[in-house]
Amino acid sequence: MIPARYAHVLFSLLLSGLMSLLVSLVATLKNAGLTADILSLWMGAWLSSWLLAFPGVLIIAPLVRRLVARLTVTEDRSA
C-alpha cells in the first residue's frame, strides 16, 4: 500500500491518466477515424498527452480545490 501522504500524487496520476485516455480517444477518432491502426495512434496520443496532464493536475488540483472551497458553503445540519 502507498502511504497516505502520497494520496495527492496518486490522485493526480489516476485522474490525469483516465482523463487523458478518454480525451485522446475522442481526438484520435475525430482526426483519424476508425482505422485499422487506431489503437497504436490512440496509445501514442495518450502517452504524450499524459506526460503533460500529470504534472498539470499536480499543479492545478490544489488551485481548483481552493476555488471550490470559496464558491461553496457548508451545510448547517443542526436545524
pLDDT value of residue 76? 80
Instruction: Give a yes or no: residue 4 inside a domain.
Output: no
Residue 77 is assigned to a structural domain of this protein:
no
- With vertex at residue 36, the alpha carbon angle to CA 33 and CA 42, rounded to the nearest 5 degrees, is 60
Which residues form the domain of 57? 27-69
Q: Is residue 15 part of a domain?
A: no
Mean pLDDT, the chain, as a whole number?
A: 95
In a domain, 61, yes or no: yes
Find out whether 11 and 37 touch, Cβ atoms under 8 Å: no
Number of domains in the chain: 1
25, amino acid identity: L
pLDDT at 79 over 70: no
In a domain, 18, yes or no: no
Q: Is residue 45 part of a domain?
A: yes
CA distances from residue 47 to 14, 26, 62, 78 in whole angstroms, order as listed: 13, 14, 24, 49
Alpha carbon separation from 32 to 21, 36, 45 (Å, rounded): 16, 10, 12
pLDDT band with cut points at 50, 70 and 90 for residue 47: very high
pTM equals: 0.81
- Give residue 45's pLDDT band: very low, low, confident or very high (50, 70, 90): very high
Nine cell digits for residue 4: 497516505
Query: CA 43, CA 13: separation in Å to the nearest integer?
Result: 17
